[in-house]
Homo-oligomer: A and B are copies of this chain.
Amino acid sequence: MKRPTIHDVAAAAGVSRGTVSRLLNGDKYVSPAARVAIERAISETGYVVNRAARSLVTQRTGSVVMVLSEPHEKLFEDPNYSTMIRVAIRMLAERDLSLVMMLAGDESDRERVVRYVRGGHADGVLLVSTHAGDPLLDALHTGPPAVSCGAVIGRETVIPYAAADDRLGARQMTEYFVSLGRRRIAMITGPMDTPGGIQRLEGFADVLGRKATSKLIAHGDWTQASGERAMTELLERAPDIDAVFVASDLMAAGALAALRAAGRRVPEDVAVGGFDDSSVAISTHPPLTTIRQPLAEMAQETMRLLLALIDGAGHVDPVILPTELVIRESA
């Protein structure tokens, strides 16, 4: 059996297509009598508007595409995405928009994304974890509005974003270490081509000044294994470390393992601070003292920016949200 069209509804309600269309699109100028007749006809026939036909004439698609730019292997290690996805679906659904997901891990992926967006298949683009200098960015310059959750390095003024105040968070943790009387404070950073990588290090340096020597700084790539590696390295370079600020909880979990292997007690010998307040923070032993990022709000604000742009706002300002120190047992 064929799906009912707007024609069928109109016939059942004894009006014309135009009137049904007006009701559907929230136009005024529909008489109360027509309104009830149409509403009844819709529920009787089980009519659902055909998005394809609508898109064809309105030049809008009713969907937003979320582009995940992580290389494939380590995609989704970060619980960050989950929140973003959930919030995006939710806020889009309210406006009857749907969320399409695409990967942009390698060149062919990126090409596909560009074709998709250029082809006018999305009303908006939601960038997640896009790295500096991603070739995608140039291609996206034209086309529907794009926003990012977390700043895109080098495009801060071009691509609106909502992000946590990474630098503030790093300062909060470092100051906390100082207040505890720790003297030799090290840091494990994220990749230096990500905002979190750069700004958390900046916050660390803000507090420690010249005491933040390169000997006390090691780099990771957000993975647990890299955290473990970096910690081992730090312990070799500076065995007298009494605190370490790790730029993510997952890496901190790795650092804990390395410290345990080296026979250091946490927090007695070495205080450990994480970042994110993700679910791993409470599954480690000891539970991690960390910096809470307001993930849900970040996602919400990102979506707010995108929706505003889709609605025709010419310009929107980035949003920076405060972080918060969460004290548990690792420091």
Q: Which residues of A contact B (CB under 8 A)?
A: 3, 46, 48-53, 55-56, 61, 63, 72, 75-77, 79, 81-83, 85-86, 89-90, 93, 98-103, 109, 112, 115-116, 118-121, 224, 250, 253, 256-257, 260, 279-280, 282-285
- Besides A81-B82, A101-B101, 8 more A-B contacts (Cβ < 8 Å) are A46-B118, A48-B119, A76-B79, A76-B83, A89-B102, A98-B102, A98-B121, A280-B280
Closest to A46 in B: B118
Could you tell me if B103 and A100 are in contact, using CB atoms closer than 8 angstroms? no
CB-based contact A118/B53 at 8 Å:
no
- What chain B residues lie within 8 Å of A250 (beta carbons)? 279, 283
Q: Establish whether residues A283 and B224, one from each chain, have CB atoms under 8 Å apart when the complex forms.
A: yes
A-B contact list, 18 entries, CB within 8 Å: A48-B118, A51-B52, A51-B119, A51-B121, A52-B52, A53-B56, A76-B79, A76-B85, A85-B85, A85-B101, A86-B103, A98-B101, A100-B100, A224-B283, A257-B285, A260-B285, A280-B283, A284-B285
Contact A50-B109, Cβ < 8 Å, known A253-B283, A283-B253: no
Q: How far is the CA of A275 from the CA of B103 in the complex (A)?
A: 29
Number of copies: 2
* Residues in B neighbouring A93, C-beta threshold 8 A: 102-103, 109, 112
A61 CB contacts on chain B under 8 angstroms: 52
Residues of B within 8 A of A46 (CB): 118
Q: Which residues of chain B are within 8 angstroms of A86 by Cβ–Cβ distance?
A: 72, 75-76, 103
A281 to chain B, nearest CB (A): 10
Query: Which of B55, B101, B253, B285 contacts A89, CB < 8 Å?
Result: B101
Q: How far is the CB of A300 from chain B (nearest CB, A)?
A: 14
Q: Tell me the complex Cα distance, A260–B286, Å.
A: 11
Residue contact B282 to A224, C-beta cutoff 8 Å: yes
